[in-house]
Structure 1
Amino acid sequence: MPRFAANLTMMYNEHAFLDRFAAAARDGFEAVEYLFPYEHPAAEIKARLDGASLTQALFNAPPGNWSAGERGIASLPGREDEFRRSIDTALDYACVLGNRKIHVMAGLVASEASRAAQRELYVKHLEYAARAAADNGIDVLIEPINTRDMPGYLLNRQDDAHAICAQVGAPNLRVQFDCYHCQIVEGDLAVKLRRDIGRIGHIQIAGVPERHEPDSGELNYPWLLALIDELGYDGWIGCEYRPRAGTSAGLGWIRPWFAARG
Structure 2
Amino acid sequence: MPRFAANLSMLYPELSFLERFGAAAADGFRGVEYLFPYEHPPEALLARLQEHGLQQVLFNGPPGRWDDGERGLACLPGRESEFRAGIAEALRYAKVLGCPRVHVMAGLVPEGQTREALRATYVANLRWAAEQAAAQGTDLLLEPINTRDIPGFFLNRQDDAHALLAEIGAPNVKVQMDLYHCQIVEGDLAARIRQYLPTGRVGHFQIAGVPQRHEPDLGEVNYPYLFGVIDEVARGCGWDGWIGCEYRPARGAVPGGTSQGLGWLGRASV
TM band (smaller chain): over 0.9
Is the Cα–Cα contact under 8 Å of residues 7 and 245 in structure 2 kept in the other structure?
yes
Q: What secondary structure sits across from 2:167 in the alignment?
A: helix
Which residue, out of 252, 255, 261, partners 2:266?
Answer: 255
Which residue, out of 234, 237, 240, partners 2:246?
Answer: 240
Q: 1:43 — aligned with what?
A: 43
- Whichever residue aligns with residue 146 of structure 1, its letter is N
Given the two structures, how large is their TM-score scaled by the length of structure 2? 0.94
Determine if the alignment matches structure 1 residue 192 to structure 2 residue 192. yes
Structure 2 CA distance for aligned equivalents of residues 115 and 95 of structure 1: 32
After alignment, is 183-192 or 107-116 more displaced? 107-116
Please tell me the root mean square deviation across aligned C-alpha atoms, in Å.
Answer: 0.9
Q: 1:23 — aligned with what?
A: 23
Name the count of aligned residue pairs: 259
Given the two structures, how large is their TM-score scaled by the length of structure 1? 0.97
Q: 1:213 — aligned with what?
A: 215
Determine if the alignment matches structure 1 residue 14 to structure 2 residue 25. no
Structure 2 CA distance for aligned equivalents of residues 122 and 156 of structure 1: 14
Which string of whole-angstrom CA distances, capped at 9 and with x for unpartnered residues, describes residues 190-209 of structure 1? 11111111211000010000
Which string of whole-angstrom CA distances, capped at 9 and with x for unpartnered residues, describes residues 164-218 of structure 1? 0000111111000000000000001111111111211000010000000000211
- Cα distance, 1:112 vs. partner? 5.2
Which string of whole-angstrom CA distances, capped at 9 and with x for unpartnered residues, describes residues 111-139 of structure 1? 35342221210111010111110001010
Consecutive unaligned residues of structure 2, counting only runs of 5 or more, are 252-256
Structure 2 CA distance for aligned equivalents of residues 216 and 240 of structure 1: 14
Structure 1 CA distance for aligned equivalents of residues 13 and 98 of structure 2: 24
- Whichever residue aligns with residue 164 of structure 1, its letter is L
Which string of whole-angstrom CA distances, capped at 9 and with x for unpartnered residues, describes residues 69-114 of structure 1? 0000011111111111111000000000011000000000013534
Structure 2 CA distance for aligned equivalents of residues 32 and 253 of structure 1: 18
Consecutive unaligned residues of structure 1, counting only runs of 5 or more, are none
Is the Cα–Cα contact under 8 Å of residues 144 and 181 in structure 2 kept in the other structure?
yes
- Whichever residue aligns with residue 261 of structure 2, its letter is G
Q: What secondary structure sits across from 2:175 in the alignment?
A: strand
Q: 2:181 — aligned with what?
A: 181
Structure 1 CA distance for aligned equivalents of residues 111 and 161 of structure 2: 20
Structure 1 CA distance for aligned equivalents of residues 97 and 142 of structure 2: 20
Is the Cα–Cα contact under 8 Å of residues 119 and 154 in structure 1 kept in the other structure?
no
Q: 2:54 — aligned with what?
A: 54
Structure 2 CA distance for aligned equivalents of residues 72 and 118 of structure 1: 13
Is the Cα–Cα contact under 8 Å of residues 145 and 153 in structure 2 kept in the other structure?
yes
